[in-house]
Structure 1
Amino acid sequence: MSRLALLAALAVALTALRGGTMIMQEAEGGAAFVAPQATQIVYDRNGAFLSQIGRAIRDAKGEKRVEYGFWPLERIPGRVAAATLILEDRRFYSHPGIDARAVLRALWDNFSHRRRVEGASTIAMQVARMQSPAPRTYANKFWEAATGLAIVARNGQEATLSHYLRLAPYGLGSHGIAHAARFYFDKPVDDLSWAQVALLAAIPQSPGRMNLTHESGLRLAKERALYAIAQLEKEGALDATQAELARRELSAMRPFEGKRRPDTLHLALRYERLAHEGRLHPASIYDQRIHATIDLAVEREAAQLARRYLSIFRNAGARQVAVMVAARGTNAIIADVGSADYNDPRAGAFDFTRVSRSPGSTLKPFIYALALERGALRPTDLLDDIPEGASGVANADGLYLGPMTPRQALANSRNVPATNLLRRVGLEANFSFLHELGLHDLDAAPESFGVSMAIGALPTRLEKLMRAYAALADDGLMHDLSFARDETHEAPRRVMSLDTARLITSFLADPQARLPSFPRYGPLEYPFAVAVKTGTSQNYRDAWTVAYSHKFIVGVWLGRGDANAMRGLAGANSAARLAHALMVKLHGAKPGEIALESFAPPPDRVAIDLCRADAGPNCAQTLREWVKPGEIAPPAPASVSAQIEDASVAGPLVIATPEHNMHVWRNPEQPQHLNKLALKLVNGGKDAQIVWVVDGAPFTVAQGDETVFWPMTPGAHRIQARLALAPVRSRPVRVVVE
């Protein structure tokens, strides 16, 4: 007797003895359903494939492979059941878990050397084998048969079929018909056509040979699918029209394109890590899709710009770059570039959005924020930028600019005022505040960092900086960064007052306040409202920029994986250029366009223009400041004087554009009547009528919230706004047109 005949005899005997106590007790241990945890397919915010989150296993040879899927079925679609059973187990509903007739037929086929389309293993036996893989010996085959009986006896036929459809391999690492429907056809299993169902049902017989991305594998799968369609038509499961339509669809199928994740492997690893941490939550256990916040189009743009600018700075020693982009207001991450290239031997495998580095001056805004929160600082105070009393700290440029307002000191990123301010508020208070902002989780004494924590001694990560700056942008309310639509987050919490957050934003968005350290119209200035801060660590090891507009938050790091120094690459001349290019790209700004917008000022404050005492009688240099009514008089009249009209006259009229002492160049290539200068108020009321006065003569009357355009003429001009029916006027601004 052949081995197959012996197996047939054993199967028949087992069927006859299926109620035997000893056999059922031995098989009972394998009758419970066991399945790996369902894995997810990640799509970007527009529905484009991003990655899969799988599980790594080792086969019998010890080789590692990744498997996906194992999605449960909410219900078994009729087409799926019909196509699967016609190929795998025709008499599924008429036998107890093993099919003696199929075994005997397989025996006959073996003796007569006929090609078999159907095997002798039943659905239940295959479930037993998939739950407990073992070498294909006859002893194990006998065990599978016994376990198949126990599986059906314990769980019933419908549950057994459903479990098979969760475990069955469908090629390329995909398991389960629900996962395969998404993986191959990007549709729910209920929406599969007869042709698609038949093709998928064919694959479990030989997933390796029926690789649908290869012509040969697709041909084998089509042959078996056509056989299934013919048998289903013969049995009346589908009519002749449906069968012909399915055959035509199968004939038209071409090899499938494999699902390819983005080039930036860091992004796929980010989602795998979030899944393993339990932070990603699919909409349903039956639909394991993850809807990421990432926009792959923006991701590609960010990565391309990062590589382009890194190539510019390579000669100065830069080797790696990282970029993050978030949507302001939601903190949804739409681009996350961990390095220039994961495969770059120069530390490309490191995700530099998550690597702790010296942040340079990027922590300074939070030092100022805490001082404002504690009442230790007012916008009209003066901070000394002088060598005396600087605790050995020097400015990056080696210069000292003398007394400065907080706006100037922060916008100029002066080290001395920042460290003195930190010392005034206290090391422990600042250390704790930075911890509360999530910028570090160090268990160390604040004294170990000293006042230098304000200028880079306290390491942090780009992703942490993004979250902290997002709190500034969100009026002091801190939210977690969001990487997926359905993700676990901590509840938002307030980390600073709205008043403080808006003051700091106004400091960081003021191009006039950055003078003289950062010249106008460089990479820190934008054609729309942007708050920006750069940072440079000691010896130029790290260059940073974080910027936020009304729409986006952009963070950039530039440096080296080995932490060696670069040559003269500061945040302002390297990372800021990349951030500027990316922010302008995100906004779709065209050359020459200027958006007439500004950030909302702090409520309950009024705008005044501060004039430097050495500016001369014409006050050639002014800074606009937002102060509380009780702070209008500056505390140090010897250095700063306030230029503000009498309260009964000045009222709320403040000119937003043009800026005082602005230089404007006309475009000689366009007609004269198109060279116009926009005139607009800060928060002008829509019901107020405003008279715009140019050089002492009324130019036009407009609503308070209206932007008007003045035809420019060469020379120096004086522009003022007045209420039409009240003695209220703005402070005049001086403009030079060339």
Structure 2
Amino acid sequence: MPRRLFALLVLAVATSSAAAVPAFRDVRDNWRSADIVVVDRHGDPVARVRDDFRARRGDWVTLADTSPALRTAIVLSEDRRFYAHSGVDWQGVAAAAWANMWNTRTRGASTLTMQLAGLLDEDLRAARGRSFGQKVGQAVSAASLEHGWSKDQILEAYLNLVPFRGELVGLSAMSQTLFGKVPSGLNAREAALAVALVRSPNAAPVQVSARACRILREMKQPRECDGLDGFTALALAKSASVPDASFRANLAPHLARAVIARTREALPAGRPVPARIASTLDAEVQRVAVDSLSRHLRELAGRNAEDGAVVVIDNASGDVLAYVGSSGALSSAAQVDHAGAPRQAGSTLKPFLYAQAIEERRLTAASLLDDRPVNLPTGGGLYIPQNYDHRYAGWVSLRAALGSSLNVPAVRTLVMVTPHRFHRRLVALGLPLTESGDYYGYSLALGSADVSLLSLTNAYRSFANQGAYGPVRMTVDGAPVTRQPVMSPAASYVIGDVLADRHARARTFGLDSPLTTRFWTAVKTGTSKDMRDNWCIGWSQRYTVGVWIGNASGASMHDVSGVSGAAPVWHDVMAALHRQTSSRAPAMPAGVERVPLTFADNLEPAREEVFLTGTAMTRIRVGAASSSNGAPAIASPADGTIFALDPDIPPDAQRVWFHADGLTGQTARAVSWRIDGKPLGKGGQVAWLPWPGRHRVELVDAAGKVVDDIGIEVRGASVREAGPQRTSMRR
């Protein structure tokens, strides 16, 4: 067809079709990465999560952020007269027609603008060659594009829309996948290799290398062809090996997945998740947490500790400022979110137990607790708790017992509070306990329940908020969190005062440890059974920080305790948070008083102690302060215990013993016991001949008032006339 006639046809059709060509701004604004990008509270990207698996696309790249070498290579290779023609290169058309006539090869007549037209309109694309109508349509659209777009806009859109290799579409995905850098950093060799893929995206590496070398020669850089075959093969191998999750290293991949999941759940059905989500994360705090965790786990090399997690929460808002779900490359299960995974809590639940006992006025911070071996009858047998170091301190105050994380006093306290009520308190604090309090029994005092680092850290945040609990917030556009009172402000203050006292924890941790900071903090460690989980949770005036160390497999660590495992990371993060921010002790709330206190026989050093108003004591002696308000309580058996009579033991040889706590020598003689309303005996302990049925046991003071009561059940059995005697009844 004569050139003039073809041009007139193109212009005529273009005039009628110009409205069908989209505006540059619409194309750019409608571009969507294959990833959902999660940014921090300041707008900095912290993670990319693959959401569209049809193609791998990155962010839109402006021409100003594109390597000059790449711009030069693409024009030389695909459209040498790009800046001279009006969409159709008539010289190229004539050369192509002449070459086709003589059956010779040529560069082709399709301009960058015509190729862009095909990328914008699926009807103008063809897998194998184009029909005459498609070529005309491309020419028409190209003319319209040149009429409404600038040359830079055309080139920018082309580079963002063109497929490179496999599922890689656009300059951003190609550059970061093949070369691990942003498009502005591509050098001449990388640019030539990228452009060589445009014409034959899935060609063999040797063919791509040969074409890239020809482009380099046209760029007047033939020396870059040296070693190009190996470079090409290595780069192209990456196109199939890069994980779908991202093009670049993610700073907070686990938080990103959690945020996306929460966002998707909140959206109406069928509505897509936004391409960009603003999280509450602070990238700087996140980096500090990541670096500290990685560094310390390397220091623990050889102790079988390879995984960890860190959570930082703003006390006032509930915003999650850092969320490190794993140790990354150090972990054999880097994709597992250990900040959200359930793990055994260990001693980290003790502060909530003591807070409840103080709130119920069963104990004060000065109350003496017996740290000696104890056997507690349960529905499944005897529960025999032991201290971490298998040593016992005798009589210790609650302050020393909690500060030094002694186990036996905690279990004795749970006997007073009961597992059922303590379980209810933990659930109210957001801990996702899957079983009832009776299921855990007395071991709940020592953290036998599974909790996540996020939920546990947020529960500790309640101490910083005067006992009020509120959910965390992970996105900045989320609704403001509301808090509900769970613990009393007075009891929360007392626990904070104890956990901030380095002298209280000196017996176990010494005076100088990673738990000690130059500013006010309150902190607790925990280690689960067989050193499988290691915790350190604490708060300052503004932040609550939680750290977990362990193994994804659940394997035991070797000689890693709370103070040597998680505590150093906690200390690093807290120090970074308060590098320029002070932290002061909280103001004493109403209902709390500070009173000078001494101990008889120098049991503990004299000090000023904090008490709930009305429970204060100025001097403590053994046997006089096991109950803060002087009210005795039933220590054992536990409420709801089931006893089974042993048929091999004569009935009159089987006894159930009832023990009372909180008694002095005088009150021990004054209290009495009743069972099913009938007198049983007097004193701190009595024996009872059991008979089948359900029974109510009451402890009565000298005035005849019932101060505590429990329910038990005895299950009967037929008694044998003869047989070997056994030493105890089954429980």
Q: Once the two structures are superposed, what CA deviation does each residue of 1:33-75 show, in whole Å capped at 9, x if it has no partner?
A: 986556455667888875544456477xxxxxx43225899xx
- Measured at CA, do residues 531 and 120 of structure 1 come closer, stay the same or move farther in structure 2, by a change above 3 Å? same
- The amino acid of 1:549's aligned partner reads S
Q: Specify the alignment match of 1:621 in structure 2.
A: 605
2:292 paired residue number: 302
CA distance in 2, matches of 1:461, 1:418: 22
Amino acid at match of 1:512: H
Instruction: Report 1 or 2 for greater relative contact order, CA contacts < 8 Å, sequence distance ≥ 6.
Output: 2
Distance between the aligned counterparts of 2:43 and 2:213, measured in 1? Answer: 30
Structure 2 unaligned regions, length at least 5: 64-70, 221-237, 267-272, 627-731
Question: Residues 439-472 of structure 1, C-alpha deviation per residue, up to 9 Å, x if partnerless?
Answer: 32x5443332223223222112223322222332
- Deviations along 1:194-234, one digit per CA (max 9) or x if unpaired, are x99xx9999789559999xx9999999999999xxxxxxxx
Residues 1:612 and 2:599 aligned together: yes
SS at match of 1:120: coil
- Correspondence 1:358 to 2:349: no
Count matched residues: 565
Q: Check the 8 A contact 2:357/2:417 in 1, yes or no.
A: yes
**Cα RMSD (Å) of the superposition?**
6.4
SS of equivalent residue, structure 2 residue 601: helix
Residue number in structure 2 paired with 1:293: 282
- Partner residue of 1:414? 406
Equivalent in the alignment of 1:491: 481
CA distance in structure 2 between the aligned counterparts of 1:443 and 1:131, rounded to whole angstroms: 55
Alpha carbons of structure 1 residues 384 and 466: separation in structure 2 relative to 1, 3 Å: same
1:566 partnered with 2:577: no
* Corresponding position: 1:461 with 2:452: yes
1:311 alignment partner in structure 2: 301
1:46-105, Cα deviation, whole Å (9 max, x unpaired): 88875544456477xxxxxx43225899xxxxxxx9x9999879999x99x999997566
Contiguous gaps of at least 5 residues in structure 1: 60-65, 74-80, 227-257, 590-594, 643-738
421 and 109 in structure 1: CA distance in 2 versus 1, 3 angstrom threshold: farther
1:600 paired to 2:592 = no
Equivalent residue runs for 1:315-394 within 5 Å: 318-324=304-310, 326=312, 328-329=314-315, 336-342=323-329, 344-345=331-332, 347=333, 350-372=336-358, 378-379=364-365, 381-386=367-372, 387=374, 389=376, 392-394=383-385
Sequence identity of aligned pairs in percent?
23
Matches of residues 100-499 of structure 1 in structure 2 within 5 Å? Answer: 106-108=96-98, 116=107, 119-120=109-110, 126=116, 128-129=118-119, 136-138=127-129, 167-168=161-162, 206=197, 267-270=251-254, 272-274=256-258, 276-277=260-261, 279=263, 292-295=281-284, 297-299=287-289, 301-311=291-301, 314=303, 318-324=304-310, 326=312, 328-329=314-315, 336-342=323-329, 344-345=331-332, 347=333, 350-372=336-358, 378-379=364-365, 381-386=367-372, 387=374, 389=376, 392-397=383-388, 398-402=390-394, 404-440=396-432, 442-478=433-469, 486=476, 488=478, 491-496=481-486, 497-499=488-490
In structure 2, C-alpha distance between the alignment counterparts of 1:291 and 1:148, rounded to whole Å: 49
Q: Contact 1:540–1:569 (CA<8 Å) still a contact in 2?
A: yes
8 Å contact kept, 2:527–2:533: yes
- Give the whole-Å Cα distance in 1 for the aligned partners of 2:515 and 2:429: 25
- Equivalent AA in structure 2 for residue 320 of structure 1: E
Secondary structure (helix, strand or coil) at the match of 1:342 reads helix
- Aligned CA distance change for structure 1 residues 515 and 290 (closer, same or farther; 3 Å): closer
Matched AA of 1:311:
A
Q: Does the 8 Å CA contact 2:365/2:397 hold for their aligned counterparts?
A: yes
Q: After TM superposition, give the deviation of residue 148 of structure 1 in Å.
A: 9.4
Tell whether the 8 Å contact from 1:352 to 1:462 is kept in structure 2 after alignment: yes
Q: In structure 2, do the counterparts of structure 1 residues 278 and 355 end up closer, same or farther at CA, with 3 Å as the change threshold?
A: closer
| Distance in 2 (alpha carbons) for counterparts of 1:640 and 1:369 | 21
Judged with a 3 Å threshold, the aligned counterparts in structure 2 of structure 1 residues 14 and 285 are, in CA distance, closer, same or farther, namely: farther
**CA separation of 1:471 and 1:328: change in aligned 2, threshold 3 A:** same
Report the 3-state secondary structure (helix = DSSP H, G, I; strand = E; otherwise coil) of the residue aligned with 1:306: helix
Q: Is the 8 A contact 1:167 1:176 kept in 2?
A: yes
In 2, distance between residues paired with 1:444 and 1:148? 71
Query: Against the structure 1 CA distance between its residues 343 and 177, is the aligned structure 2 distance closer, same or farther, given a 3 Å change threshold?
Result: same
Deviating more after overlay: 360-369 vs 370-379: 370-379
Distance in 1 between residues matched to 2:218 and 2:595, nearest whole Å? 81
Aligned to 1:630: 614
Instruction: Give the aligned residue type for 2:405.
Output: S
| 1:713 alignment counterpart | none
CA contact (8 A) 1:71 1:287 kept: no
Distance 1:360 1:290, change over 3 A: closer
The corresponding residue for 2:495 is 504
Aligned equivalents of 1:390, 1:115: Cα separation in 2: 93
Deviations 1:340-361 (A, max 9, x none): 452655x455443333221211
Q: Deviations over 1:680-722 (max 9, x none)?
A: xxxxxxxxxxxxxxxxxxxxxxxxxxxxxxxxxxxxxxxxxxx
Q: Could you tell me how far 1:534 is from its partner in structure 2?
A: 1.1
Q: What residue number does 2:540 align with?
A: 549
The structure 1 residue matched to 2:526, chosen from 524, 529, 535, is 535
| CA distance 1:179–1:55, shift in 2 (3 Å) | same
Q: Secondary structure at the match of 1:273?
A: helix
Residues 612 and 622 in structure 1, CA contact (< 8 A), matched pair in contact too: yes
- 1:640 and 1:109, CA in 2 relative to 1: closer, same or farther beyond 3 A? farther
Distance 1:583 1:334, change over 3 A: same
Deviation of the 1:144 alpha carbon:
8.3
Letter in 1 for 2:253: L
Paired residue secondary structure (2:597): strand
**Structure 1 residues 273 and 135, CA gap change in structure 2 (3 angstroms):** farther
SS across alignment from 2:457? helix
* Separation (CA, whole Å) in 1 of partners of 2:199 and 2:412: 68
Deviation at 1:615, TM superposition (A): 1.7
* Alpha-carbon spacing, 1:265–1:558, altered in 2? closer, same or farther (3 Å): farther
Distance 1:353 1:264 in 2: 22
Kept after mapping to 2: 8 A contact 1:321/1:556: no
